[in-house]
Amino acid sequence: MDTIAAIATPLAPSAIGILRLSGEHAISIVSALFHPFAGGSLSDAPNRKLIYGTFYDETGCVLDHCLATISRSPHSYTGEDTAELQCHGSPLLLARGLEALFAMGARQARPGEFTKRAFLNGQMDLTQAEAVIDLIDAQTEAASRNASAQLAGAVRLKIGGIYDNLLNLTAQFHALLDYPEEDIEEIDESQIEDTLQNAIDSLGALSRSFQQGRLFTQGIPTAIVGRPNVGKSSLLNALLGYERAIVSSVPGTTRDTVEERVSLDGLLLRLIDTAGLRETADPIEQMGTERTRHALAEAELILAVFDASEPILPEDNRVLDAIQNHKNVILIRNKSDLPALWEERDLPAGFAHICTISTQQLEGLDTLIHQIHQLFPKDSTIPAGEILTNARQAGAAARALEALETAQRDLQTGMTPDAILTGVEDALSHLGEITGATLQEALVSRIFERFCVGK
Ligand SMILES: Nc1nc2c(ncn2[C@@H]2O[C@H](COP(=O)(O)OP(=O)(O)OP(=O)(O)O)[C@@H](O)[C@H]2O)c(=O)[nH]1
Ligand SMILES: [Mg+2]
C-alpha cells in the first residue's frame, strides 16, 4: 500500500506538532530527511525509540530540530512501517514539513486512514476502530470512559462471546448435516433454546443501551419553552455561561430555535431555546412557533419557563397543556429577584419537578441542575464500555436480534433445523458486521477445529 502522511495535531500554535507516516516507504522517507545528532541513520534505530536530530526539507534546508521515531511492521499502530516527527508546534512549519514528505513520495492521508489500515491489518476490530473516533469526540467524562473501554475491546468481547456461542451451535448443525457418517451427538432442543435465549438477552440489553448511548454522545435534547418574555433565552445563556442568544424586553425576541451543547456536571445537554408560544398573526413568528412544536416533540427533557413577577396568563396555561404528557418536565419559576405575584404551589399539580430561579441574578441554577441529574441518573448497572454509542453497530445488533427472535419462533413452532440454522446464520453475519469478522472463514475453521472431521 502507498505511503500516507498527515499532520496529526491541531493546526494551531502549540508546544509540539506531530507529522505521521505509514506505509512501505515511511521509514526510508523520514530517514532521508531526518539526520540524528548522534550520527548514523534513523532507519537503524530500534522500534519506538525517540531520536533527536535535524529535520531537513527535500532541498536540504533545515526545517527544525526535533524528535523522530520509527516502528517496523507489524509492531505499530497501523501494522505497517510507520514514522513520526515531533516538531515544534508551528502550523507553517508543519505544512512545510508535510510538503517535504510529499516531495519524497508520500501522499496525504485521508480522514481516518491510519485507523482504517490498523483495522485492515488486523491490529483492531471495527468496534475498536470506531471507539478511537468516539474517544476523540467524547464531550463528557462518561462518554470518554465508555470509549476508552471500547477501545480496549469491551464491545468486541461482548459481541465475541455471543458470536462464539452461536457459531458453536451452527458448527454442530453443519457437522451433522455435512458429515452424517461421523459419530457426532445430536443437539438437543433445550440446548438450542438456551443458546438462543442467552444471545437474545445479551443483544437486547446491548440494543437498549444505544438509547442511552445516543444521549451520551449527542446530548439530551432539551427544549426550553414558555410564552414570550419569561426568560427562556436568559436561561439558555445562564446555563451556557455566555451570551449566546439575544435577550430583550420585547416579547417575541427569539424567532428561530437556537441550539447549543453544554455539559452540566458531566451530563451533556443539547439545549434548544425556542420562540415563545403564543397566538400570532406574524408569519415569521408562526414559523418559529412551528419549530418550537417540533423541538417539543423531539425533546427528551423540557424546561418550561414561567415569569413569577407577572400573573399566570392563558398563554402559560397553553404551554402547560402542550407539555402535560411529556415524561421529563421541569417547571421553572423565573425572575425570583422581582416581587412575586404567585408561588410554586400555584402551578398545577402533577408535575414532579418545580424550581425557582433568577436567570438574571444566577440564583437557583444549582437546584435546577440537581433536578436534571435526578431525571437522568448515571446508570450504574451498565459497565463502562457496554453502552453502544455507534448507530452502525446498534443497527447491526438490532438486525441480529430480529434474526434470533425469528429463529426462536421457528424453534417453538417446530420448524426444521435448517430453518432455525438460517436464522442463526443471519444473526451471525449481522454480528460479524459489528466487529468486521467474516462469517465463512470463521465458520469453516471452527467446524474442523472443534470436531476434528478434516482428517
Ligand atoms: N428581573 C429579571 N428579569 C429577567 C430575568 N430573566 C429574564 N429577564 C428579563 O426578561 C426579559 C425577557 O428575557 P428573554 O430571555 O429575552 O425572554 P424569552 O423568554 O427568551 O423571550 P422571547 O424570546 O421573546 O420569547 C429581558 O428583559 C430579560 O432581561 C430574571 O431572572 N430577573
Ligand atoms: Mg428568547
Within-domain flag for 36: yes
248 pLDDT more than 90: yes
- The model carries a pTM of 0.73
For atom 9 of ligand 1, the residue with the nearest CA is 231
Query: Cβ(57)–Cβ(81) under 8 Å?
Result: no
pLDDT of residue 183: 64
* Residue 338 near ligand 1, beta carbon < 6 Å: yes
Are residues 199 and 105 part of one domain?
Answer: no
Within-domain flag for 133: no
Are residues 222 and 196 part of one domain?
Answer: no
Contacts of 93 (CB under 8 A, 6+ apart): 17, 63, 64, 87
Pick from 224, 225, 229 the residue to mutate for probing ligand 1's pocket: most ligand atoms within 8 Å of its CB: 229
- CATH number, domain of 408, equals 1.20.120.430
Instruction: Report pLDDT digits (tens) over 379-430.
Output: 655 667 778 888 788 888 999 999 999 999 998 898 877 888 899 999 999 9
Orientation angle between helical segments 113-120 and 126-137, nearest 10 degrees = 160
* Residue 228 near ligand 1, beta carbon < 6 Å: yes
Are residues 243 and 366 part of one domain?
Answer: yes
Are residues 331 and 258 part of one domain?
Answer: yes
Atom index in ligand 1 nearest the CA of residue 252 equals 24
Within-domain flag for 10: yes
Work out whether the CA dihedral 326, 330, 334, 336 comes out positive or negative. Answer: positive
* Residue 155 near ligand 1, beta carbon < 6 Å: no
Are residues 246 and 186 part of one domain?
Answer: no
Question: Is residue 342 exposed (0-12), middle (13-18) or buried (19+ Cβ within 10 Å)?
Answer: middle
Instruction: Report pLDDT digits (tens) over 98-144.
Output: 999 999 999 999 887 888 888 888 888 888 888 887 888 888 888 88
Are residues 319 and 265 part of one domain?
Answer: yes
- CATH number, domain of 28, equals 3.30.1360.120
Are residues 315 and 239 part of one domain?
Answer: yes
Measure CA 179 to chain center. 45
Work out whether the CA dihedral 169, 171, 174, 176 comes out positive or negative. Answer: negative
The total of structural domains in the chain comes to: 3
438 pLDDT more than 60: no
265 pLDDT more than 60: yes
Contacts of 297 (CB under 8 A, 6+ apart): none
Residue 320, helix vs strand vs coil? helix
Are residues 262 and 308 part of one domain?
Answer: yes
Give me the domain span that covers residue 51. 4-120
For atom 12 of ligand 1, the residue with the nearest CA is 229
Query: Cβ(216)–Cβ(146) under 8 Å?
Result: yes
Cell numbers standing for residue 450: 472443534
Work out whether the CA dihedral 215, 217, 223, 229 comes out positive or negative. Answer: positive
Are residues 204 and 228 part of one domain?
Answer: no
The mean pLDDT value for 37-47 works out to 97
